[in-house]
Amino acid sequence: MLRTMSFLTFMMSVAVMIIGKCGLRSTWVKKSKMAKRIFRKGKIACAVIFVLGLFALHQCHGIHHIAEKQMHKHHEERMAEHKKQMSSHEFMGVLRGAKTTEQCKADHGKEGECNADPACVWCACSAVPSGCFAVDDAAKLPAAVFTCDKKEEAPVV
């Protein structure tokens, strides 16, 4: 739609230029009837260009509205992605070299292996299968359900 309007505006501009040339030539020859007719056509062409400009302005507002919707949608997606990222507590654990619970479970399937890793601790549970957890996550588990081995954390330097 916008391309069509641009093309029509261009063609009307060309028509106005041609009418202007014809009007200039007719005034040199002093044919007043022809000059008046060309002047009228020029006014009509200018009016059509003005109307097309108003229509294009209306279309631009519509395009702007669509762009704002897309920007809002993109912003919402970015915020949802941001919420999926790790918390500052988890991030600090990664900076200290600590593992996540998922990494501990993937690396260690047995109690001895888990307890040998300083970043992981084995937690026994009667309700669900026992497993290897990150030291930070093991501290958050309910003590009534999980019995975790004790480890001393190295001081953060």
Q: Provide the residue ranges of all domains of the chain, joining segments of one domain with +.
A: 2-84, 98-148
Query: Can you tell me the distance from the alpha carbon of 61 to that of 24, in angstroms, rounded to the nearest whole number?
Result: 39
Say which amino acid occupies 106: A
In tens, the pLDDT along 117-129 reads 888 899 998 888 8
Q: How many residues does the chain have?
A: 157
In terms of Cα–Cα distance, which of 18, 54, 58 is closest to 38? 18
Task: Please say if the pLDDT value at position 142 is more than 80.
Answer: yes
pLDDT tens-digit profile of 65-84?
A: 888 888 888 888 877 776 66
State pTM to two decimals. Answer: 0.38
| Residue 134: its H or E element | strand 131-134
